[in-house]
Amino acid sequence: MTSIPEAESLYGDLLRGVQALMRPDTRLVGITSGGAWLVERLQKDLGLAGAPGVISSAMHRDDFARRGLSSSAQTALPFDVNGADVLLLDDVLYTGRTIRAVLNELFDFGRPACVRLAVLVDRGGRELPVAADFAAATLTLPDTQSLALARSDAGAFSFDVKEA
């Protein structure tokens, strides 16, 4: 059995990694739902003004017919995407399919100058040529398990591992 890292500890690593990727004009955008939780906290911890962006992959997923619309938040980008330096944030990078869908959604709003990706965990298993610019941790899990970020009512992060 693979040892799952402690999510709160990894958040500190993610915070430092995002700080290193930040440029004066970088806009943070979290992918629903785990990435949205991360970006909400990062925006505060980095002392950034305004609200971060939140983006949903629901409308561009290749399995939309099976999954339908998720109950999670829908896309809200409180800035002009055209020419923006966008740093996407997600909890777990796995096949790359969510990132593909999110990029399609982002480009529906305009053409950013640059899009980068930071994740809490990269679990490998890519089906598409997608790589994170920063991953707080890399781990391998069996294909039969899913890994997702959970958030307590107090805002503390943990991981939820489920058998498929």
pLDDT reported for residue 60: 84
The verdict on pTM exceeding 0.95 is: no
CA 97, 111, 42, 20 torsion-angle sign: positive
Query: Which pLDDT does position 68 carry in this prediction?
Result: 54
The pLDDT assigned to 63 comes to 62
Give the CA distances from residue 67 to residues 59, 60, 116, 152, 157, in Å, rounded to whole numbers and listed in that order. 10, 11, 26, 25, 25
* Angstrom distance (rounded) from CA 12 to CA 41: 11
Which pLDDT score is estimated for 93? 97
Q: What is the mean pLDDT of each run of 10 residues along the chain (164 residues)?
A: 88 98 97 95 97 92 56 84 98 96 97 98 96 97 94 96 88
**For residue 157, what pLDDT is reported?**
97
Domain 7-60+74-163: which CATH number of 3.30.70.270, 3.40.50.2020, 3.40.50.2000, 3.40.50.11030? 3.40.50.2020
